[in-house]
């Protein structure tokens, strides 16, 4: 249980907390990326880029997966809300990873931050993490963040704990952000990825 005064999933789901309420609990911040066992890096895209790509025939989603490990949109910030609870923000897009009531992933601007942008972070025995919505789902049937092999997100209510699409490896970045984020080199940080990658 989190210390007294800190939010937990039930308390967040019962309210529609805005950013100035939940953000007051933000503790430590980590920088890194999420690699899904489906073979994709999670990206959080800004609205303008998403719309431009959709016009060109791309996916057009603000949350998606990419095979390009150097994508500037895959650099993330993990903000601690309480013990085991995190919010994930795209460093370049400055948008939060969120899940709506239909289980669809989307990216929200800071002024649209709600309990839909808070996730329970759980580490599995295989060193991969699970991220389930604090706003939706139940204890028996959590709604997980998941990415298909195609790069499209899977709806949380259809995601399952044992499926690779729901498993994410956190790659930590301990160095300052590059001058050109589009040319970010993961370098030695990929050692953790290759160490635990399943063949």
What is the tens place of the pLDDT at every residue in 6-18?
Answer: 456 766 555 554 4
Output the pLDDT for position 14. Answer: 53
- Predicted confidence band of residue 185 (pLDDT cuts 50, 70, 90): very low
- In sequence order, the 6+-apart residues with CB closer than 8 A to the CB of 120 are 9, 84, 85, 130, 131, 132, 133, 134, 142
Element (H, E) at 99: strand 96-99
pLDDT in tens, 83-128: 899 999 999 999 999 999 999 999 999 999 999 999 999 999 888 9
Tell me if residue 108 falls in helix, strand or coil. strand
Whether 187 has a pLDDT exceeding 90, the answer reads no
Going along the chain from its start, the domains and CATH numbers come out as: 9-171 (2.80.10.50)
Mean pLDDT of the chain: 80
List, for residues 45-95, the tens digit of each pLDDT value: 988 887 777 667 666 689 999 999 889 999 999 999 988 999 999 999 999
């Amino acid at each position: 249980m989190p210390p007294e005064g800190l939010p937990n999933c039930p308390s967040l789901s019962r309210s529609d907390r805005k950013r100035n309420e939940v953000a007051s609990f933000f503790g430590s911040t980590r920088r890194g990326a999420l690699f899904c066992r489906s073979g994709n890096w999670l990206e959080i895209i800004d609205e303008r880029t998403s719309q431009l790509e959709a016009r060109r025939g791309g996916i057009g989603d603000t949350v998606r997966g990419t095979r390009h490990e150097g994508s500037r949109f895959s650099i993330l910030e993990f903000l601690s809300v309480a013990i085991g609870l995190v919010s994930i923000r795209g460093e370049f897009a400055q948008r939060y990873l969120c899940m709506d009531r239909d289980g669809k992933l989307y990216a929200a601007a800071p002024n649209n931050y709600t309990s839909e942008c808070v996730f329970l972070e759980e580490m599995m025995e295989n060193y991969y993490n699970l991220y389930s919505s604090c706003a939706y789902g139940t204890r028996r049937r959590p709604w997980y963040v998941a990415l298909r092999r195609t790069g499209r997100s899977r709806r949380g209510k259809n995601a399952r704990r044992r499926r690779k699409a729901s498993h994410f490896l956190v790659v930590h970045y301990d160095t300052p952000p590059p001058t050109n984020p589009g040319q970010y080199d993961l370098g030695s940080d990929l050692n953790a990825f290759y160490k635990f990658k399943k063949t």
